[in-house]
């Protein structure tokens, strides 16, 4: 489906849209936990992570000093890790958390979907402004740079410092202000129906779903569904 747009900007989710973890989270958690004397199966760690992530409060905090913000981010993730790994000595859990937090700050923990660089280059060549909008923390912008795509976007907006997490419209409004674009002139692409599609629409933007795993999910009428970002330039048409 081609969307008739007079677009000025495209915003994109990070995890599941631009990038993915290099190996299953449970595998990474179990391996690093074992190095600190904590024993959990990859399957149990994966379940624990998914459950904790789904039930956690938004990864968004009030305006604060950079040091305080980093502390809040670490505390948020420490609770996720603790639940995923399970009980154990506090010193071992803290050490495992420190290693995991540092691990996911590095490019080696992630991969860029293969079509992403070409898609971003095509959109930029059309004169579109681009931003990453993600429920993430302060590690995101350096990570996007380390993965080789930071220079292809005009802004990276993460929920932690924005004080607003998708599907709240505030994070989208911050991104649009950074880009200097009104909501009607922007489209958001992401892999979650609520956080990405509904959140962007609440902000007055258009949206589409990137459904890499071909999961059947109910969406508002007229919302395009793409199997990858490779189809995005054709869907939005010529700028």
Q: How much is the pTM?
A: 0.93
Helix 25-35, helix 66-85: angle, nearest 10: 90
Sign of CA dihedral 150, 205, 211, 10: negative
Model pLDDT for residues 51-66, shown as the tens digit of each residue: 999 999 999 998 888 8
**Cβ–Cβ contacts within 10 Å for residue 190, how many?**
26
In percent, the amount of the chain with pLDDT more than 70 equals 96
Domain boundaries, the chain: 9-18+113-236, 23-108
> Which tokens is 100 given?
């995991």
Q: Does the pLDDT at position 220 exceed 80?
A: no
Q: What are the two backbone dihedrals, phi and then psi, of residue 178, each rounded to the nearest 5 degrees? A: -65, -35
Q: Provide the mean pLDDT of the chain.
A: 94
Scan for tokens 């179990």, then name that residue: 30
- Distance of alpha carbon 164 from alpha carbon 159, whole angstroms: 5
Model pLDDT for residues 106-128, shown as the tens digit of each residue: 999 999 999 999 999 999 999 99
34-54: average pLDDT: 97
201-209: average pLDDT: 96
Level-2 CATH architecture, domain 9-18+113-236: 3-Layer(aba) Sandwich (3.40)
**Cβ–Cβ contacts within 10 Å for residue 141, how many?**
17
**Cβ–Cβ contacts within 10 Å for residue 160, how many?**
23
How many Å from the N-terminal Cα to the C-terminal Cα in the chain?
Answer: 16
37-62: average pLDDT: 96
Q: Which residue has the higher pLDDT, 137 or 239?
A: 137
Q: Answer for the pair 220, 190: CB distance below 8 angstroms, yes or no.
A: no
**CATH topology classification for 23-108:** DNA polymerase; domain 1 (1.10.150)
């Amino acid at each position: 489906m081609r969307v008739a747009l007079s677009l000025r900007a495209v915003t994109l989710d990070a995890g599941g849209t631009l990038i993915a973890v290099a190996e299953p989270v449970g595998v990474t958690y179990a391996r690093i936990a074992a190095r600190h004397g904590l024993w959990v199966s990859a399957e149990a760690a994966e379940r624990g992570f998914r459950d904790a992530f789904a039930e956690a409060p938004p990864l968004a905090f009030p305006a604060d000093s950079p040091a305080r913000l980093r502390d809040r981010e670490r505390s948020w993730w420490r609770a996720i890790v603790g639940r995923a790994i399970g009980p154990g000595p506090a010193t071992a859990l803290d050490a495992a958390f420190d290693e995991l937090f540092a691990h996911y700050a590095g490019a080696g923990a992630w991969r860029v979907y293969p079509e992403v660089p070409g898609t971003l280059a095509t959109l930029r060549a059309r004169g579109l402004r681009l931003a990453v909008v993600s429920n993430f923390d302060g590690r995101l912008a350096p990570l996007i740079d380390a993965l080789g795509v930071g220079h292809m976007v005009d802004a990276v907006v993460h929920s932690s410092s924005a004080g607003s997490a998708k599907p709240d419209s505030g994070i989208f409004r911050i991104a649009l202000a950074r880009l200097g674009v009104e909501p009607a002139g922007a489209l958001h692409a992401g892999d979650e129906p609520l956080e990405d599609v509904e959140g962007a629409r609440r902000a007055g933007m258009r949206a589409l779903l990137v459904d890499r795993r071909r999961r059947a999910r109910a969406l508002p009428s007229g919302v395009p569904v793409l199997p990858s970002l490779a189809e995005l330039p054709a869907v939005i048409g010529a700028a």
